[in-house]
Amino acid sequence: AQKITQTQPGMFVQEKEAVTLDCTYDTSDPSYGLFWYKQPSSGEMIFLIYQGSYDQQNATEGRYSLNFQKARKSANLVISASQLGDSAMYFCAMREGSGNTPLVFGKGTRLSVIA
Amino acid sequence: NAGVTQTPKFRILKIGQSMTLQCTQDMNHNYMYWYRQDPGMGLKLIYYSVGAGITDKGEVPNGYNVSRSTTEDFPLRLELAAPSQTSVYFCASSSKRDRVNEKLFFGSGTQLSVL
């Protein structure tokens, strides 16, 4: 079963607008971490933001924020004031806390920012 | 700061050939990983290592071998290359402490084509 689901293969957003990229996850472990990575056309993987399962507040990093809804098992990435440089693939990922578990990635969402 | 270094960046193999993808990190990280990314897809874990001398299979290990003789190096060996192994390969590392929130540091990737 898919542990990380990203249902939006592609998204378009107007420059300077906000956009939400969806991510749902599946785990029975009470301790887990959720990550978002950006992959521009150059191919490198860039860490954006992290949310822990026990964190009381939603994570924020500059223009990135994470809308964490634990009961719904969703961890959506919100990008405010989109810029042309935000055009990229975005991956949601999860690590479960018990045992030696590596990071598991979703299939990604391709975001295109339009001028 | 070198971080995670992968070589080569590009390679074309013929069916049945073998090769080794090199990965080295200079952050003294205990954990190292090999992922593959097929076109339009997320990253799938091939193998990982929690320290020198210790390796374990990920989601898609068939057709690959790894070794971890030092903390710094984690080479990935392809024996008898097949077209299904055409992919972009990423090496990554993370430190041992605070497991759940440890982000991965990625190399720049190796684009491999098997023809």
**β-pair partners for A3:** none
β-strands B76-78, A10-14 pairing:
unpaired
So what's the pLDDT on residue B99?
66
> What are B50-69's pLDDT values in tens digits?
899 999 999 999 999 999 99
Res. A36: pLDDT tops 90: yes
**DSSP H/E element including A25:** strand A24-25
Q: If contacts are CB pairs under 8 Å, which of residues 85-114 in chain B contact chain A?
A: 88, 90, 92, 99-104, 106, 108-109, 111
Res. A99: pLDDT tops 60: no
Res. A98 pLDDT band, cuts 50 70 90: low
A102 touches chain B (CB under 8 A): yes
Q: In which residue ranges of chain B is pLDDT below 50?
A: none
A52 touches chain B (CB under 8 A): yes
Res. A92 pLDDT band, cuts 50 70 90: very high
Average pLDDT, rounded, for chain A: 93
Q: Indicate yes or no: CB of A102 within 8 angstroms of CB of B102.
A: no
| Chain A residue with the nearest C-alpha to that of B31 | A102
Q: Indicate yes or no: CB of B56 within 8 angstroms of CB of A44.
A: no
Q: Indicate yes or no: CB of A43 within 8 angstroms of CB of B50.
A: no
For chain B, what is the largest distance between any 2 Cα atoms, rounded to a whole number of angstroms? 42
Beta carbons of A112 and A11 less than 8 angstroms apart: yes
CA torsion sign for A88, A16, A20, A94 is positive
Res. A17: pLDDT tops 90: yes
A99 touches chain B (CB under 8 A): no
B33 touches chain A (CB under 8 A): yes
- Minimum-distance CB partner of B45 among A32, A35, A102: A102
All residues of chain B having their beta carbon less than 8 Å from the beta carbon of residue A41 are none
Beta carbons of A79 and A21 less than 8 angstroms apart: yes
Mean pLDDT of A10-17: 96
